[in-house]
Structure 1
Amino acid sequence: MWICIRCLASIAFDAVEPGIDSFGIYFICPGCGRRNQLINVGRRGRIVLAQTGR
């Protein structure tokens, strides 16, 4: 589960679609609209996302 850093809502992985732009990888909290930063911790071409800034 992702956790919004503003409203602390728990959000299922499949409830939001991660996005990517010039600032990095992120998801938008459906409750408060906060942009939450993600990072790729995968190796050898495998994408594994982790949340930062908790």
Structure 2
Amino acid sequence: MPTWLTTIFSVVIVLAIFLYFGLSIYQKIKQIRGKKKEKKEIERKESNK
């Protein structure tokens, strides 16, 4: 295998790992924000009563 091929493969693997971690962190942040929104909506409904 030529060296440039191994370099491309290693770069692709590193990028894939970064994307995987980035997406998982992004989804966790979205979940936390979603939970906060739900709490606010519930509080609004209770205050309207």
TM-score bracket, normalised by the shorter chain, equals under 0.3
Query: Normalized against structure 1, the TM-score is what?
Result: 0.19
> More strand by proportion, 1 or 2?
1
Greater RCO (Cα-Cα under 8 Å, separation 6 or more): 1
Query: Normalized against structure 2, the TM-score is what?
Result: 0.20
**Which one has the largest radius of gyration?**
2
